């Protein structure tokens, strides 16, 4: 047994000289958490795997006022990588100092209360001069239940980094990497005691097992990350997720750009070429406090508004550590297309919830890719509006009202389509866009007292579809439908041949709207009426938009 009891000592504490225990040399540079972490994993236990009990002087090195020995003991208890070794008995050695005196000195010196470990099971404080008389075998190891119920609750470990948001960024990235099954090269697990303390409370694992996956989307991807922590794991992580979960990386490629500065984000000029933008909510973390500020004042929201002012259709996924419902609503109201909430080491959630959040994140990225057409439509709407505004004439009020009505309708229809979630909402956006056809007809088609219809003083013939082609005749029938009028305008104004594909598309767009507004189960031939259903889809809206755009640019 004695061969498995080790003493940590330095040149000022040669405790092993008169005792039958093995010594482990302490080096004076072990004063930071990262160095202590590396030392206990790779040296202390890495080179001495048979340690069963450990003797540690509370003070190591000359004039050790911070009780480095106690800090080493805390690291042992809180380092999950040590597995069962972190439960070993620890005997702390002092020179004529009681537990209460050590605690009092740490409080008066505003030091981290590492001494509280002395009040936990599995440890014992003994005076140096009584070490020979101590019955070492009286101290037993603890287990995970004792650690969580009797050790951790007695510790007070402050966040010495000053802000919990940095911890959330690191923990969130490590947890997401675990779910995405990637070992990050640009972010290591934090080694500070506060992180270890919070991590010790959780049952989560952050050791990723890598696996190769292939996304289904067959297209090249260009995305932008705006995050001051982009280079600390998040760029690597999102790139991996897109290449493994979203696109087929073997036939396509991802182009990733990162911005880590708030001012640079506000002046970046290549926003409209991006398929997806991942935007951190707080880009100036040292200056912003999400608890005390309006969310609309946060740097990420300011960048979001700038992006949406350029093109509302640009897809933006907010990355945030805030899980408050009112904050999420404010983000969506500000124009965010989706959001991902980083997991926090300070909030306990189930594994199933964690996995669902990850799956939802993947789905939001896929949806963003599919909605990429919106930025193209929005750019074309801006061009249409510029064209129509150039036609405005301060003298002709009737003409101005006509043009302004089109501008309003096209903007309204885009907003409705952009926000549509159900089939009916998509259909209402379509019908709103279709109203432009009706006001174009009203503007360019006239009727005389004998119910003869004209376009630019030319008689409007009766147009229809027969055997998959557009036909016309000189019938004396006076009725002219909205479909007939816009078909006439398309032919007369655009000089399109009557067998042109655009005319068939025009007829389909009009029929689609009529079938929705005036639903019939039986067609004019007495057969079951079949509709293409495109009024409820993105494809139908785009097809109608293409037609209206063509007509408007011919005005």
pLDDT 10s digits, 187-211: 988 999 999 998 898 877 777 777 7
Instruction: Outline where 62-163 has alpha helix (H).
Output: 68-78, 99-108, 144-146
C-alpha distances (whole Å) from 318 to each of 283, 298, 354 are 12, 12, 18
pLDDT value of residue 401 = 93
pLDDT tops 80 at residue 138: no
CB 222 within 8 A of CB 248: no
User: Any idea what the Cα angle at residue 234 is, between residues 233 and 238, rounded to 5°?
Assistant: 120
> What are the residues whose beta carbons fall under 8 Å from the beta carbon of 324, sequence distance 6 or more?
none
User: What pLDDT sits at residue 365?
Assistant: 95
Report which of residues 275 and 23 the model is more confident about.
275
> What is the spatial distance between Cα 61 and Cα 63, in angstroms, rounded to a whole number?
6
Look at residue 1 and tell me whether its pLDDT is greater than 70: no
- State mean pLDDT over 315-343: 86
The total number of residues shown for the chain amounts to 555
The fraction of the chain above a pLDDT of 70, given in percent, is 90
CA dihedral 338, 339, 340, 342 (to 10 degrees): 180
pLDDT at position 432 over 90? yes
**Model pLDDT, residue 277:** 97
Comparing 16-30, 137-151, 441-455, the range with the smallest average pLDDT is 16-30
Average pLDDT over residues 243-258: 88
Contacts of 539 (CB under 8 A, 6+ apart): none
What pLDDT does residue 475 have?
63
Angle at 322 between CA 318 and CA 323, to 5 degrees: 100
Question: Residue 408: which residues within 8 A CB-CB, separation 6 or more?
Answer: none
pLDDT score, position 163:
59
447 - beta bridge partners?
A: 453
* Burial class, 387, CB count within 10 angstroms (exposed 0-12 / middle 13-18 / buried 19+): middle
User: Of 42-51, 121-130, 221-230, which gets the smallest average pLDDT?
Assistant: 121-130
DSSP H or E segment with residue 136: none
């Amino acid at each position: 047994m004695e061969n498995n009891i080790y003493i940590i000592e330095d040149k000022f504490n040669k405790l092993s000289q008169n005792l039958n225990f093995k010594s482990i040399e302490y080096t004076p540079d072990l004063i930071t958490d990262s160095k202590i972490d590396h030392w206990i994993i790779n040296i202390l236990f890495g080179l001495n795997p048979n340690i069963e009990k450990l003797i540690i002087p509370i003070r190591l090195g000359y004039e050790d006022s911070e009780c480095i020995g106690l800090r080493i003991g805390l690291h042992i208890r809180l380092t999950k990588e040590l597995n069962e070794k972190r439960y070993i008995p620890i005997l702390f050695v002092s020179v004529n100092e009681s537990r209460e005196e050590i605690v009092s000195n740490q409080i008066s010196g505003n030091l981290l209360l590492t001494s509280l470990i002395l009040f936990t099971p599995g440890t014992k404080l003994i005076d140096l001069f009584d070490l020979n008389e101590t019955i070492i075998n009286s101290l037993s190891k603890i287990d995970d239940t004792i650690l969580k119920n009797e050790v951790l609750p007695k510790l007070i470990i402050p966040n010495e980094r000053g802000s919990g948001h940095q911890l959330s960024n690191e923990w969130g990235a490590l947890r997401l990497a675990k779910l995405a099954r990637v070992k990050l090269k640009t972010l290591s697990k934090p080694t500070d005691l506060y992180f270890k303390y919070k991590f010790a409370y959780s049952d989560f694992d952050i050791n990723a097992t890598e696996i190769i996956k292939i996304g289904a989307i067959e297209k090249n991807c260009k995305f932008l990350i705006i995050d001051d922590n982009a280079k600390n794991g998040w760029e690597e992580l999102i790139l991996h997720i897109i290449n493994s979960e979203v696109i087929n990386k073997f036939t396509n490629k991802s182009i990733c750009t990162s911005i880590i500065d708030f001012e640079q984000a506000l002046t970046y000029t290549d926003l409209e070429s991006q398929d997806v933008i991942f935007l951190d909510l707080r880009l100036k973390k040292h200056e912003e406090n999400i608890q005390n500020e309006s969310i609309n004042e946060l740097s990420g929201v300011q960048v979001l508004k700038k992006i949406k002012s350029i093109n509302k259709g640009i897809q933006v996924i907010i990355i945030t550590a805030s899980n408050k419902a009112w904050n999420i609503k404010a983000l969506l109201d500000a124009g965010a297309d989706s959001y991902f909430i980083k997991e926090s080491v300070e909030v306990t959630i189930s594994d199933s919830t964690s996995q669902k959040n990850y799956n939802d994140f993947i789905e939001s990225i896929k949806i963003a890719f599919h909605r990429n057409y919106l930025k193209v439509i929005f750019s074309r709407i801006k061009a249409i509006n510029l064209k129509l505004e150039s036609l405005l004439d301060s003298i002709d009020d009737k003409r101005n009202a006509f043009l302004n009505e089109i501008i309003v309708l096209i903007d309204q229809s885009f907003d409705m389509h952009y926000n549509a979630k159900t089939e009916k909402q998509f259909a209402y956006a379509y019908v709103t866009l279709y109203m432009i056809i009706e006001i174009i007809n009203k503007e360019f088609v006239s009727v005389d007292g004998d119910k003869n219809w004209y376009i630019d003083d030319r008689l409007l013939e009766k147009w229809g579809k027969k055997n998959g082609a557009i036909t016309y005749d000189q019938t004396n029938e006076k009725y002219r439908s909205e479909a007939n009028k816009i078909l006439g305008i398309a032919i007369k104004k655009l000089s399109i041949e009557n067998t042109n594909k655009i005319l068939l598309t025009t007829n389909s767009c009009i029929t689609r709207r009529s079938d929705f507004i005036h639903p019939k189960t039986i067609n004019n031939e007495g057969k079951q009426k079949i509709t293409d259903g495109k009024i409820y889809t993105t494809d139908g809206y785009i097809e109608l938009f293409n037609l209206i755009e063509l007509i408007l640019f011919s005005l």
